[in-house]
């Protein structure tokens, strides 16, 4: 389904006493990157419906959810107009922006959090007390497109002067002047790999770290905490009329002010609200993080 595309109108009946409200024939499409499309569509559809119902002045009469298997595909959807709105953390959002021309318009408080950061940790008995001690060691990141699971800790360590080198396997040799790293593909894998000794250290978002059982967490040492970044960013595709973009922004900014809006936000992965974002400083830092990882 193409974002905001024309479909055949359905004739509506009239009565002598009521003038029917014209039904829009365009579709507003919101997108997400996932390997669990059914689950995501269930969570996203109420928001798509809510927005579409309030954009009839632009000819919109339906909301739809479209999922992609990866960020590259989502960028193609945005560029071609198949997706109108996309929600993600800063790094994949910047990938999509750079590839599609999409624009960041708002911040999403996903799970109730406006911002988040990453914790880099190891077991105390590994003899690693600070980030500089990671030289010659192997650590685990989550996924190459993860903001908290890769970008933030990678840039944090790089900016302290460490040389990071991707390895094919956690058993690969690591030179004494570098920090080896592998991708585990999941926060929970990172934690288990540290506990089992498969890697010397790992990085997870702060919520995942705090959810580690206290007994296990007490055996760990925090080597560093990264900067805070927006939990999620709302992107709008290029080509939408400015007045429609402004209408979408205002609808989303007002959602937490009504019972109906709050109910939809709760279904949308416990989103607390949307607020104004980003500033030029935010955009510049997001672009800097993007470039540091792209040029690794």
Phi and psi (nearest 5°) for 246?
-65, -40
Task: Report pTM.
Answer: 0.86
CATH superfamily assigned to domain 118-227 = Periplasmic binding protein-like II (3.40.190.10)
Class of domain 26-113+230-294: alpha beta
Which two three-digit tokens encode residue 147? 């903001």
Helix-then-strand count for the chain, H and E: 10, 14
Taking residue 162's Cβ as centre, other Cβ atoms within 10 Å add up to: 16
pLDDT, position 23: 61
State how far the alpha carbon of 84 is from the alpha carbons of 32, 45, 51, 97, 184, in Å.
11, 14, 12, 13, 32
* pLDDT grade for 16, boundaries at 50, 70 and 90: very low
Q: Which neighbouring-strand residues pair with 28?
A: 63
Q: What is the pLDDT of residues 141-157, one digit of tens each?
A: 999 999 999 999 999 99
256 by Cβ neighbours in 10 Å (0-12 / 13-18 / 19+) ranks as middle
Same fold, 26-113+230-294 and 118-227: yes
Q: Could you state, in order of their start, the residue ranges of all structural domains in the chain?
A: 26-113+230-294, 118-227
Does residue 10 surpass a pLDDT of 50? no
Contact 116, 210 (CB under 8 A): no
In this predicted structure, which of 11-25, 109-123, 281-295 has the lowest mean pLDDT? 11-25
- What does pLDDT average to over the chain? 92
The yes-or-no verdict on residue 19 having pLDDT over 80 is: no
Summarize the confidence of residues 251-263 as an average pLDDT: 98
| Site of tokens 């089992």 | 196
Please, which residues bridge with residue 180 across strands? Answer: 138, 165
Peptide bond before 214: cis, by omega within 30 degrees of 0? no
């Amino acid at each position: 389904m193409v974002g905001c595309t024309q479909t055949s109108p359905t004739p509506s009946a009239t009565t002598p006493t009521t003038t029917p409200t014209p039904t829009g024939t365009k579709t507003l499409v919101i997108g997400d990157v996932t390997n669990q499309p059914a689950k995501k569509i269930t969570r996203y559809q109420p928001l798509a419906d809510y927005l579409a119902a309030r954009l009839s002045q632009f000819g919109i009469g339906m909301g739809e959810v479209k999922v992609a298997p990866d960020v590259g595909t989502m960028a193609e959807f945005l560029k071609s107009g198949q997706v109108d709105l996309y929600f993600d953390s800063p790094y994949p959002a910047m990938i999509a922006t750079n590839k599609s021309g999409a624009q960041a318009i708002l911040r999403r408080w996903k799970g109730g959090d406006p911002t988040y950061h990453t914790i880099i940790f190891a077991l105390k008995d590994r003899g690693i007390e600070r980030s500089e001690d990671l030289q010659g060691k192997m650590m685990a990141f989550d996924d190459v497109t993860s903001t908290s699971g890769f970008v933030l800790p990678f840039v944090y360590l790089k900016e302290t002067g460490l040389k990071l080198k991707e390895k094919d396997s956690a058993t690969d040799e690591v030179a004494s002047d570098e920090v080896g790293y592998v991708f585990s593909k999941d926060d929970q894998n990172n934690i288990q790999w540290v506990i089992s000794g498969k890697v010397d250290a790992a990085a997870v978002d702060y919520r995942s770290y705090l959810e580690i059982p206290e007994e296990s967490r007490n055996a760990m040492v925090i080597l560093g905490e990264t900067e805070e970044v927006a939990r999620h960013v709302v992107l709008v595709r290029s080509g939408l009329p400015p007045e429609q973009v402004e209408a979408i922004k205002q609808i989303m900014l007002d959602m937490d002010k009504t019972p109906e809006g709050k109910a939809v936000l709760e279904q949308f992965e416990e989103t607390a609200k949307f607020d104004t974002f980003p500033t030029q400083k935010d955009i510049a830092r997001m672009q800097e993080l993007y470039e540091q990882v792209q040029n690794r």
